[in-house]
Amino acid sequence: MDSDYLDQLARALATRGVRVLRFEFPYMAGRREGGSKRPPNTMPVLQDSFREHYRAAPQPLYIGGKSMGGRVASLLADELQPDGLICFGYPFHPPGKPEKTRTAHLAELRTPTLILQGTRDPFGKPDEVARYPLSAQVQVDWLDTGDHDLKPLKSSGLTQADLIDQAAERAAAFMLG
């Protein structure tokens, strides 16, 4: 929960009438307790943690997350059957390795999905993502000059807060119509 980016995003969504429920995966909570950076838990552990929080959440519900959180949510979306899925900075591939995709399940996804991605995100840029087969349910919206944390190029005249605000506006429109 120690992320200015996610704090700003939650506030921006709340100002648009979207209630946000946040949680940490076990490895992230362990970083706070142990003070050192830890590798992510295995995917089954991450998925079980997500399921646990999903079951406790009020309905109707859109699920999602940033980076790994969005990936885990996308792997569970069709199983959990939320109202929709929103991913911020989806990790389409490891940085510098666009051939090592993490997208197979996205080709078959049945859940309405919005992916909000910076055009400079090293985990998936527009020209790379355009080549991936994605379900018709998956909509990718690009945030101009944003990186993985939606930090824009200084020359753009935009700030990270501007791009977070744009992302929140698009996410709220997707959820609230």
> What is the domain partition of the chain in residue ranges?
4-176
User: Which of 42, 13, 38, 27 is CA-nearest to residue 114?
Assistant: 13
With a cut of 50, which residues of the chain have pLDDT below it? none
pLDDT at position 22: 86
Q: Output the CA torsion sign for 120, 121, 123, 129.
A: negative
Q: Is the peptide bond before 60 cis (omega within 30 degrees of 0)?
A: yes
pLDDT at position 77: 97
CATH architecture of 4-176: 3-Layer(aba) Sandwich (3.40)
Question: What DSSP state is assigned to residue 22?
Answer: -
pLDDT at position 1: 61
pLDDT at position 74: 98
pLDDT at position 158: 98
